[in-house]
Amino acid sequence: MTKAVRVHKVGGPEVLTYEDVEVGPPGNGEVRIRQHAVGLNFIDVYFRTGLYKAPGLPFVAGNEAAGEVLAVGPGVTNFHPGDRVAYYYNLGGYASERVIPADKLVKLPDHITYEQGAVLMLKGLTVWYLLHKTFKVEQGHRVLIHAAAGGIGLLACQWARALGAHVIGTVGSKAKADLALANGCDHVILYNEENFVERVKQISRGELCDVVYDGVGKTTFPGSLSCLRPRGLFVSFGNASGPVPPFALSELNNHGSLFATRPKLNDYVGTRKELLEGADTLFAAVINGKLHVPINHAYALKDAAKAHIDLESRATTGAAILRP
């Protein structure tokens, strides 16, 4: 028997149930791992509430973690018991042990801790593809990053700055503003108190932004479109405040021949080659000191409901982990 946090019916944080689960031996192409740290993500909330559909009920929550290999199934040649590994994978993450396809795992370099690995595979890889693939951030670009003090936000601000961008962040409090400024933001806007569109216009002297990274969704739309220069790119990658409502394509024309995309990690690390390219680049950025991994909260796995309450009530900053 191993421990896991399962969802038997979708709903509030109270549906996260800490219980015994049976974990079998690894099958063909699979690996059994003992998990040392599990990443907490807003996407875990979407699955818990039913905004994103799990394949069935009950399901084990959680989408990223790190740990050590206990056993490998038939046909697995590139992983061995004792290897330190991490992964991003749809569901099954909130557990002390689990079985997972070997091709979803990456080996952790010696200098990356389990805790760092557990928050880099979903959050870090997302930041990697957003800044390198969805839009290639380069020296001199002006970028707007919403929820700049969040798990994705602090990593994105640091990395965008390291790539030479001028970084504007939005945050929900003064304390978060200080954190964002210490993590790569050149300017921070308190978007609950200030009109962020007007502030972006002021800060950029009317030139606006090349790209807007928007994981907040409902409350920052359509303002985000007004922050873009003609032919700029609107990257809507999340729904922390609720989904972006359907809108007319002509809005992109009205705001200056804009481009818009709604990307997801699966489509950027769908092949083994892409996954390893992203992980190698990410780990190198951490090891070279370009990227500091801000793990600001830790909870016992059994307290996953408390972790969700904190995340949803905007009480967290940076990354948070669950300890099995």
Ligand X SMILES: NC(=O)c1ccc[n+]([C@@H]2O[C@H](COP(=O)([O-])OP(=O)(O)OC[C@H]3O[C@@H](n4cnc5c(N)ncnc54)[C@H](OP(=O)(O)O)[C@@H]3O)[C@@H](O)[C@H]2O)c1
Q: Could you list the residues that contact ligand X (CB under 6 A)?
A: 41-43, 122-123, 126, 147, 149-153, 171-172, 176, 215-216, 219, 237-241, 263-265, 311-312, 314, 316
Angle at which helix 304-312 crosses helix 42-49, to 10 degrees, equals 100
CB of 303 to ligand X, least distance (A): 17
Separation CA 247–CA 310 (nearest Å) = 31
CB of 128 to ligand X, least distance (A): 11
**Token pair belonging to 307:** 């972790």
Closest to 99 measured CA to CA, from 28, 7, 176, 18:
28
CB of 282 to ligand X, least distance (A): 14
Separation CA 221–CA 5 (nearest Å) = 34
CB of 150 to ligand X, least distance (A): 2
With respect to ligand X, which residue has the nearer C-beta, 1 or 276?
276
With respect to ligand X, which residue has the nearer C-beta, 77 or 313?
313
- The DSSP code for 241 is T
With respect to ligand X, which residue has the nearer C-beta, 234 or 237?
237
CA distances, 19 to each of 4, 22, 94, 125, 216 (Å):
6, 10, 11, 30, 32
With respect to ligand X, which residue has the nearer C-beta, 31 or 63?
63
With respect to ligand X, which residue has the nearer C-beta, 171 or 305?
171
CB of 131 to ligand X, least distance (A): 12
> Largest Cα–Cα distance in the chain?
61
CB of 78 to ligand X, least distance (A): 26
Separation CA 240–CA 42 (nearest Å) = 7
Closest to 158 measured CA to CA, from 320, 321, 318:
318
One-letter amino acid for residue 273 of the chain? K
What three-state secondary structure class fits 184? coil
With respect to ligand X, which residue has the nearer C-beta, 254 or 271?
271
